[in-house]
A and B are shown apart, each in its own frame.
Chain A
Amino acid sequence: SFEVTQPPSVSVSPGQTATITCSGESLGNKDASWFQQKAGQAPVLVIYQSKKRPSGISERFSGSSSADTATLIISGAQVIDEADYYCLAWGGDTVVFGGGTKLTVL
């Protein structure tokens, strides 16, 4: 079955760029979504179709995709960006979440 893999944690200092990867076979040929989830809250969509940003989401969030990897990029990370981030790979009837990445900004 199709699987995608994320690093368990990423840590950056405020103002730095945070990069979170999502790896899976031929992931570059699939659409990916990214979600931010803060403690006790429902997830929020921050990127869809691998690189598109929903209205209302900060321009600091961007996405890219190539070969077997989708990437979430948070430019100028802020303390408010501390959260768990999940990728979601869309493969027709096979839709899979990554295991999640805890982003620490300090």
Chain B
Amino acid sequence: NAGVTQTPKFQVLKTGQSMTLQCAQDMNHEYMSWYRQDPGMGLRLIHYSVGAGITDQGEVPNGYNVSRSTTEDFPLRLLSAAPSQTSVYFCASTPGGENEQFFGPGTRLTVL
């Protein structure tokens, strides 16, 4: 199993540009989440999904959209990038319940 994969690893955007961060998992997990991590801070939940076709907002959802058309994929869309969205983005998946979350390697995004 590849686990949780994220692309790209690095991305530089200009203010106002849009882009999609990709996340995929091959473990057939129902639950998937997106987090952002700013320097010196813990992770903050952006959006999450409890299954295909079902998504919900987390702690910091503004400026981001998600969709979950398949169990495997959970893309995160930045609608109009702002410098405040400069961060490292992590995707995670879990079977749910009390099971652990599996994290991807992260995408480092810089918005100029």
Do A and B truly interact? Answer: no
B interface residues with partner A (beta carbon < 8 Å): none
A interface residues with partner B (beta carbon < 8 Å): none
